[in-house]
Structure 1
Amino acid sequence: MTDFAIGDIQGCYDRLKDVLGKVDFSPSRDRLWVAGDLINRGPSSLETLRYIESLGNSAVVVLGNHDLHLLAVVLGGHALKRKDTLAEILNAPDRDKLVNWLRQQNLCVHDAERNLMMAHAGVPHIWNVEQALASAREVENVIRGEQAPEYFAHMYGNKPERWDEKLSGMDRWRVITNYFTRMRFIATDGRLELTAKESFGSAPEGFAPWFEFSRPDDLRVIFGHWAAIEGKTGIDRFIALDTGCVWGGALTMMNLDSGEKIHCDC
C-alpha cells in the first residue's frame, strides 16, 4: 500500500484524475490523504466530492474552509457567494448523502508512526499533538451532532483572535476552526491575523507564518490552504501542498514515504 497526500483540489476533478493516473493510483491498494478544500471555485465540485466519498477507507480527509462553507450553506442558513461553484452539489439527488459524509471528516489527522499530522491550514505552535487532537475532536463532535446548525450559523468571524482554555461555546469552536482551516500568519502568543493572504515575505507587523515558530516537538505537518507560497516553506518538516491548481498553477501530490512530489499543470 502506498499513501499519497494531495493539496487543494477545489473541484478540479479532471486534474485530480490526471495526477492520480501518473502513479497508477488504485483504491484497492493505495490511500489518498486530502488536505482539505476538496470543492469550490473549480468546475467539477460535485464530481470531485462523489469520487473522494467513493474511495471509502482509501481516503483520509481533513476539512478545509471551502468544505465548511458548503456545510454552512446547507446547515447554517448562509447564502452562496458570487464565486462559489457549489450549486451543482446543492441540487444533486445525493446531496444529503454527500453532506452527511463530509460532516464525518476530521479537522486534523495524526499518523504517530510517521510523526505526521495533516490539517488544512496547519497546526499552531501553541498546541502540542495531544492538544491539537483534543481541540479538533471537540469541534468535530459539534459538526456531527445536534449543535451543528448553531455552529454553522455563527462559524464565520475573526474573533476571538487567540486561543484561551477558558473560552467556551461558539467563541471556543470558532477559534479552533480558524486555526485549523484559515490560519496563515500568527503571533508568538497565538494571536491570528486572518486578513492577510499574501506570501510569507509580507507578514503584517508582529506576525509571521505559523510554520516559522518553534514547536514543542519535532512533528511533521502537511497542509494546504496557502497557494501564495507556491508549495514552499523553507522548512523540510512543514510540507505545503496547495500550489494553486484552481488559479492556473498546479495540483501537487506527494508520496508520504519517499517524499516524491507529483505535479499536474492546471
Structure 2
Amino acid sequence: MATYFVGDIQGCYQELIALLSQVNFNKKHDQLWVAGDMVARGPDSLATIEYLMSLGECVKAVLGNHDLHLLAIIAGHKKVKKQDKLTELLASPNIDKIADWLIKTPLLRKLPNENVYMSHAGISPQWSIVTAEKQARLAQKKLRSSERNLWLKKMYGEQPNSWVDAITDEQKFRYTINAFTRMRYCFSDGSLEFNYKVPPNKAPKNIIPWFHLSKSLEQCYWIFGHWAALQGDFTHKNAFALDTGCVWGQHLTLLHWETRQLYAQNAINIKNN
C-alpha cells in the first residue's frame, strides 16, 4: 500500500487524474490524503468532488476554506462568487449527497501509527497537538450537528485572532476554523494574521510563517496546503507545503509519503486566473 498526499485541487480534475496516473494509483491498495480546498476557482469542481467521493474509504480528506465556503453557500449564508465557478456543482442533482460528504470530512487527520498530521492551513502556534486534536473534534461535532447551518454562519470573522481571547464556544469555534483553514502568517505571540499571502521573503518583518513559530513541529510532521505562494518550498524540515497553485496556472503536487518522493502535474489549459 502506498500513501499519497495531494495539495489543493480546487476543481482541477484533469490534472488530478493525470497526476494519479503517473503513480498508477489504485484505490484497492493505495490511500489518497487530500489537504483541503477540493473545490472552487478551477474548471471542474463537480467532477473533482464526485471522483473523490467515488474512491470510497481510500480517500482521507480534510476541509479547506473553500470547501467550508461551499457549505455556507448551500446553507444560504453566502452568495456564489462568479470566480469560484461553482454553478455546475450547485445545480447537480447530487448536491445534498455532496454536502453530506463534505460535512463529514474532518478538519484534522493523523496518519495511523505515525506522528504525521494533515490540515488545510497548519496548526496554530498557540496550540499543542493535544489542544489541536481536541478543538478539531469539538468543531467537527458542531458542524455535524442538527445546528450545522447556524455554526456555518458563525464561522465567519477574524476575531478573536488569539487563542487566549477565545472564551465562548462561538469564539473558540471561529478561531479553530481560522487556524485550520485560513492561517498563513502569525505575529510573534502566535496570534493569527490574515492579510498577507506573499512568500516569506516579501512579507513585513513583524509577521512570521506559522511553521517557524510552532513548537509542535518539534514532535511531528505536518502536511498542509492553502499557501500557493510558497510553491512547495519546505522551509521547515517537518512541514510539507503541497499547494503549488495549479488553479493559478502552476502545477498540482503529490507526495508519496513512504519514499518522500514528489510528483508534479502542470496545469492543463489553465492560464493565471
Which TM-score tier does this pair reach, normalised by the shorter chain?
A: over 0.9
- Give the deviation of 1:139 after TM superposition: 0.7
Q: 1:224 is matched with which residue?
A: 225
Amino acid at match of 1:235: H
Measured in 1, the distance between the counterparts of 2:138 and 2:88 equals: 31
SS of 1:138's partner is helix
Measured in 1, the distance between the counterparts of 2:67 and 2:204 equals: 27
Residues 248, 214 of structure 1: alpha-carbon distance in 2 compared, 3 angstrom cutoff:
same
Structure 2 unmatched runs, 5+: 268-273
Q: 2:72 is matched with which residue?
A: 72
Q: Is the aligned partner of 1:3 residue 2:3?
A: yes
Cα shift readout 1:113-161 (whole Å, capped 9, x = no counterpart) = 2211000001122222211111111111111112211111232211111
Percent identity at matched positions?
Answer: 39
Q: 1:83 is matched with which residue?
A: 83
Q: 1:96 is matched with which residue?
A: 96
Q: 1:121 is matched with which residue?
A: 121
Measured in 1, the distance between the counterparts of 2:239 and 2:6 equals: 14
Q: Is the 8 A contact 2:10 2:41 kept in 1?
A: yes
Q: Is the 8 A contact 1:76 1:151 kept in 2?
A: no
Measured in 2, the distance between the counterparts of 1:31 and 1:50 equals: 17
Measured in 1, the distance between the counterparts of 2:244 and 2:209 equals: 17
* CA RMSD, Structure 1 to Structure 2 (Å): 1.3
Q: Is the 8 A contact 1:116 1:222 kept in 2?
A: yes
- Give the deviation of 1:112 after TM superposition: 5.2
SS of 2:215's partner is coil
Measured in 1, the distance between the counterparts of 2:205 and 2:156 equals: 24
Q: Is the 8 A contact 1:10 1:39 kept in 2?
A: yes
SS of 1:83's partner is helix
Q: 1:240 is matched with which residue?
A: 241
Q: 2:173 is matched with which residue?
A: 173
Runs of 4+ in structure 1 off by over 4 angstroms are none
- Give the deviation of 1:76 after TM superposition: 4.5
Q: How many residues align?
A: 266
Q: 1:202 is matched with which residue?
A: 202
Q: Is the 8 A contact 2:190 2:213 kept in 1?
A: no
Measured in 1, the distance between the counterparts of 2:53 and 2:59 equals: 8
Measured in 1, the distance between the counterparts of 2:176 and 2:88 equals: 30
- Give the deviation of 1:189 after TM superposition: 2.3
Structure 1 unmatched runs, 5+: none
Amino acid at match of 1:39: V
Farther off after superposition, 44-53 or 125-134: 125-134
Measured in 2, the distance between the counterparts of 1:40 and 1:104 equals: 19
Cα shift readout 1:25-55 (whole Å, capped 9, x = no counterpart) = 0101100000000010000000000011111
- Provide TM-score, normalisation by structure 2: 0.94
Measured in 1, the distance between the counterparts of 2:159 and 2:125 equals: 19
- Give the deviation of 1:89 after TM superposition: 1.4
Q: 1:18 is matched with which residue?
A: 18
- Give the deviation of 1:205 after TM superposition: 4.2
Farther off after superposition, 101-110 or 200-209: 200-209
Measured in 1, the distance between the counterparts of 2:185 and 2:214 equals: 14
Q: 1:252 is matched with which residue?
A: 253
Measured in 1, the distance between the counterparts of 2:150 and 2:76 equals: 7
SS of 2:75's partner is helix
Q: 2:264 is matched with which residue?
A: 263
Amino acid at match of 1:200: P
Measured in 2, the distance between the counterparts of 1:20 and 1:78 equals: 33
Farther off after superposition, 227-236 or 59-68: 227-236
